[in-house]
Structure 1
Amino acid sequence: MQPKPSQDVRDTRQGEEQRPLLGPDGEVVYDPPDDDLQTPQPSWLQRQWGSSCIRTLAILVLLLMVCTLVVLVLLFFGMAIPGLAHGPGKKPPVPRGPIKNVVVLVQENLSFDSFAGGLTYNPDIDGLVNRTYCNPSNIADHKSPKVCAKPTAKNVAPDDPDHSIAGGSMQIYSTYHPDNTSDPAMQGFVTEQIRSYRIDQDLSRAAEVINYYTPDHVPVFSAMAENFVLFDRWFASVPGPTNPNRAYLTSGTSHGHGMNDLDFMTSALPQTSIFEQLSEANIDWINYSNTSWFLPDALFYKWTVNSGKSETHVQPLDQFYADAAAGTLPPFTWINPECCSYMSFHPPSPINMGEGFIKGVYEALRSSPQWNETLFILTFDEHGGFADHVSPPEQVPPGDDLTCREWALDGSAIEFKFDRLGVRVPTVLMSPWVGKGVVQNRPADHDNDFSHTSILKYLSELWDLPVLTPRVAWSPSFGGLITDTYRETPETLPEPCPNQF
């Protein structure tokens, strides 16, 4: 919102009017002089010449004033420069390509290896099938027993692994204080789990942090991947917890927040979000939410509350199903699941109940009149402390120049500069306009890896929006995966696995 202009306007009176003046018919009129000198009267030709010149001059001045006014109006409403906000009443920009509606569902706390590492339909998937992946039980003692990944992950994880930034450093680098010489060997997950829960005598319990699911355990997600586009090199934005990652997902930065602190509960984040951007461009959106004790993602931001959008554009999850059935979903849909008991996958949420939820969202979209113009993106906000064997990218631009500080389990202080990505998370693109069974690794036309802010990069291309932050600018878009060929897609997905694993 732009500040109101100051009412304290200085006096700018013009000088007194000067003769000669134009008469009713455009002729030049002269006042009699004050002295006794007689001024020669102009000839008819001189009078006509003066009248014509003044008319022409007046027309030019009028045209100049009109042109200036038009330019000022265009600049004020942001319509003269591509990427600026569109003024009231202006139609939203026409999306590029066949996608008119984007739906994003961000689930909770699973790494790629833990949830998708057991998929077998395509040998190109960089998972755990035909791979031995182990961690020492004590990273400081390489003679300590090793704990290796097995396809025996439980429906309900017995413990919620550490997913702080400090814990992520230990899991990735085997130290709380990585530097330029640290090796991101992905060997510290079991050690951090044992330290967090003091379970050094129960390695089978500690192994839950590194075990994974088979396709039989996750038939819904497996079917999604097999029928659409699976990313096997998509990274979270922050090697830390939920809300900083969700802030990056929706604004391209966490504004220096590395923990789920009070600012996320009080709508205190000041940065521009995708929700604000879309509103300024007259592109409608709704954040459908089933959250309980924490705020939906759109409510992280001051603007959402101050603009009144918190009252009109944050709706209960039931409304999503009604709008999908009626074909009235907005161009941009953001979905928050419940957390953390039954639908989000976040421990102790049962895996099969989470599968039931994502199945229901997909089938609601598939049966919607809007499906033939929809792109459905399913991703996970962060790895949740669960193990993954692929090292995240380093030396990436942060969203801004703010850093965060926190304490590690050993009592030491750490500072994080948001210059490296989080752990891989499973991500799927679903639409009748994407290929079937595509396994997307690194982008073929870009040097950088896909991550959460790739969603914002794609939206900036789809609707001609400004790029929000340096992190978004760094991120590749997945727009090239949208084809120009419509195809049939499954109307329903398999039922979730019964609660027997």
Structure 2
Amino acid sequence: MYVRAPALLALMATTVVAKSWQDKIKNVVVLVEENRSFDTFAGGLKYSDDINGLVDRKFCNPANVSQPDSVQVCARPIAENIAPNDPNHGISGVNMQLLSTYHPNETLVDSGIEYETMKGFVTEQSSTYKTVNLTQAAEVINYYAQDHVRVFAAMAENFVLFDRWFAAVPGPTNPNRAYLTSGTSHGHGRNDAAFNVAALPQRSIFQQLSENGIEWINYQNSTTQPMLNPTNGFNPDSLFYNWTYTSGAWKTNIKPIADFYKDAAAGTLPAFTYINPECCSYDSFHPPSPVTTGENFIKGIYEALRTSPQWESTLFILTFDEHGGFADHVPPPVGVPAGDNLTYTEVSPDGKNMTFNFERLGIRVPTLVISPWVERGVIEHKGRNNGGEYSHTSIPAFIAKLWNLDNLTPRTEYSSTFEHLITDDFRDDTPMTLPNPYPY
């Protein structure tokens, strides 16, 4: 009979099986801020030459896109703390920003025959605000220097920055937030009344998690209307959905932001934390929110997580729901799967109907993945998994892989996930605190 040597037996007894990436992440936290493009907010980051931003790049728009020889308005790192205007970010307005027309041929765009040129931001801003003041219109293309977004820059430099993460819809807030939380907007292309009365019928990530016994909380910062507080803001994202209302989850799983800080400190955050900022005056970055107060808000969220007993098993995703009409130089992907077969029609500024099929992604937005299990200073480019791009539906797609759930829609199935960023090495050098915002 073969007998193992005592030393070998001892070695086998003490061998520790390496954790899988799924074993390392027990708590996912998602904070979705508002209305900033990648170039506007992160284009001035210069800690790495690998970032596809605006440092050492000349990015210009004609003052009038219909006049090729008109004055060129070029991006400069002088964006203001409080944007003086809120740019148009409806779907038809975004068509003008990307394609220089309110009425692109969607078939030609999706096939790559009709190209996005990213030349219409200044034109649309001038049209929206009926101004020929190019200094005023240029605010839509100007960007922040790294020192002006000190908090975000520190987070990016210490964790993973995505420079090719796209909004799900080339349009406004709620359709993008619906795609992020359910893989579709169910044909909604604007912030219509359905979002305020829990009218969306599709299955959301919140329903999916509850069906699988996975705890979640939607913490919200005074954004509720009309089902919790009829006089103030928007419904939190989980209350877009009829299921959240009819199941009673709106009473048990939606909490004020103050409870987030308490739960983080106590180490009692649920498996899935979803955070709605206030909108749109002080901590969401949505004009006229000051950048400084938005930076202070994300600093507070990070520091609450960093000092939480749950930090060692946490993955924190910070993103922005859409570009808010602010310029970006990278054309979004086209010909991608929609979440369903519904289309959306609206009246364009020229008074004509425009129909959108949800087969194009929105504009790049700043996105970070933060965890003690990711490397420092990584710049993540094009998606690597599932054959698709990074966009908002990468979040439910990642959650599906993390907790062995099904994909909600064809869009989530297409979207790239980012589990490859989770390493085998736990970092003990992640900062406890972040810099204070720039003192405008």
TM value normalised by structure 1? 0.80
2:51 corresponds to: 125
Kindly provide the amino acid, as one letter, of the partner of residue 436 in structure 2: E
Query: Are 1:406 and 1:414, in contact at CA under 8 Å, matched by a contact in 2?
Result: yes
Query: Are 2:387 and 2:415, in contact at CA under 8 Å, matched by a contact in 1?
Result: no
Structure 1 ranges of 4+ moved more than 3 A: 444-447
SS at match of 1:324: helix
By how many angstroms is 1:96 displaced?
1.8
By how many angstroms is 1:95 displaced?
8.2
Matched, 1:168 2:94: yes
Distance in 1 (CA, whole Å) between partners of 2:251 and 2:54 is: 45
Matched, 1:264 2:195: yes
- 1:44-97 CA distances to partner (integer Å, 9 max, x unpaired)? xxxxxxxxxxxxxxxxxxxxxxxxxxxxxxxxxxxxxxxxxxxxxxxxxx9823
Matched, 1:184 2:124: no
SS at match of 2:31: strand
Distance in 2 (CA, whole Å) between partners of 1:226 and 1:257 is: 36
1:427 corresponds to: 367
Matched, 1:140 2:81: no
Query: Are 2:219 and 2:254, in contact at CA under 8 Å, matched by a contact in 1?
Result: yes
Distance in 1 (CA, whole Å) between partners of 2:139 and 2:352 is: 27
Kindly provide the amino acid, as one letter, of the partner of residue 211 in structure 1: N
By how many angstroms is 1:319 displaced?
0.3
Percent identity, please: 62
Kindly report which structure 2 residues correspond to 1:101-500, keeping only aligned pairs within 5 A, or say none.
Answer: 101-179=27-105, 180=108, 181-200=113-132, 202-290=133-221, 291=223, 292-445=232-385, 447-488=387-428, 489-499=430-440
- Single out whichever of 177-186 and 264-273 deviates more from structure 2: 177-186
Distance in 1 (CA, whole Å) between partners of 2:302 and 2:213 is: 27
- 1:449-488 CA distances to partner (integer Å, 9 max, x unpaired)? 1000001110000000010000001101111111111002
Distance in 2 (CA, whole Å) between partners of 1:123 and 1:318 is: 39
Query: Are 1:236 and 1:383, in contact at CA under 8 Å, matched by a contact in 2?
Result: yes
Query: Are 1:229 and 1:439, in contact at CA under 8 Å, matched by a contact in 2?
Result: yes
- 1:22-50 CA distances to partner (integer Å, 9 max, x unpaired)? xxxxxxxxxxxxxxxxxxxxxxxxxxxxx
SS at match of 2:177: helix
Distance in 2 (CA, whole Å) between partners of 1:333 and 1:273 is: 14
Distance in 2 (CA, whole Å) between partners of 1:465 and 1:286 is: 18
Aligned length: 405
- 1:316-358 CA distances to partner (integer Å, 9 max, x unpaired)? 0000000000000000000000000000000000001100000
Instruction: Select the structure of larger CA radius of gyration.
Output: 1
By how many angstroms is 1:446 displaced?
5.1
- Single out whichever of 479-488 and 333-342 deviates more from structure 2: 479-488
Distance in 2 (CA, whole Å) between partners of 1:251 and 1:163 is: 21
1:15 corresponds to: none
Kindly provide the amino acid, as one letter, of the partner of residue 490 in structure 1: P
Distance in 2 (CA, whole Å) between partners of 1:95 and 1:446 is: 17
Q: Which runs of 5+ in 2 are unaligned?
A: 1-19, 224-231
By how many angstroms is 1:123 displaced?
0.2
Distance in 2 (CA, whole Å) between partners of 1:427 and 1:235 is: 9
Supply the RMSD in Å over aligned alpha carbons: 1.0
Distance in 1 (CA, whole Å) between partners of 2:101 and 2:115 is: 10
- 1:132-185 CA distances to partner (integer Å, 9 max, x unpaired)? 000001011111111000000000000000000001111001111112132201
Query: Are 1:160 and 1:347, in contact at CA under 8 Å, matched by a contact in 2?
Result: yes
SS at match of 2:274: strand
Kindly provide the amino acid, as one letter, of the partner of residue 382 in structure 1: E
SS at match of 1:347: coil
Distance in 1 (CA, whole Å) between partners of 2:383 and 2:253 is: 34
SS at match of 1:216: helix
Distance in 2 (CA, whole Å) between partners of 1:209 and 1:100 is: 40
Distance in 2 (CA, whole Å) between partners of 1:467 and 1:490 is: 35
SS at match of 2:49: coil
Distance in 2 (CA, whole Å) between partners of 1:444 and 1:339 is: 33
Kindly provide the amino acid, as one letter, of the partner of residue 290 in structure 2: P
SS at match of 2:23: coil
Q: Of the two structures, which has the highest relative contact order with CA contacts closer than 8 Å and spacing of 6 or more?
A: 2
By how many angstroms is 1:445 displaced?
4.8
Distance in 1 (CA, whole Å) between partners of 2:357 and 2:275 is: 29
- 1:217-276 CA distances to partner (integer Å, 9 max, x unpaired)? 000000000000000000000000000000000000000000000000000000000000
Query: Are 2:384 and 2:417, in contact at CA under 8 Å, matched by a contact in 1?
Result: no
Query: Are 1:95 and 1:463, in contact at CA under 8 Å, matched by a contact in 2?
Result: no
TM value normalised by structure 2? 0.91
Kindly provide the amino acid, as one letter, of the partner of residue 133 in structure 1: F
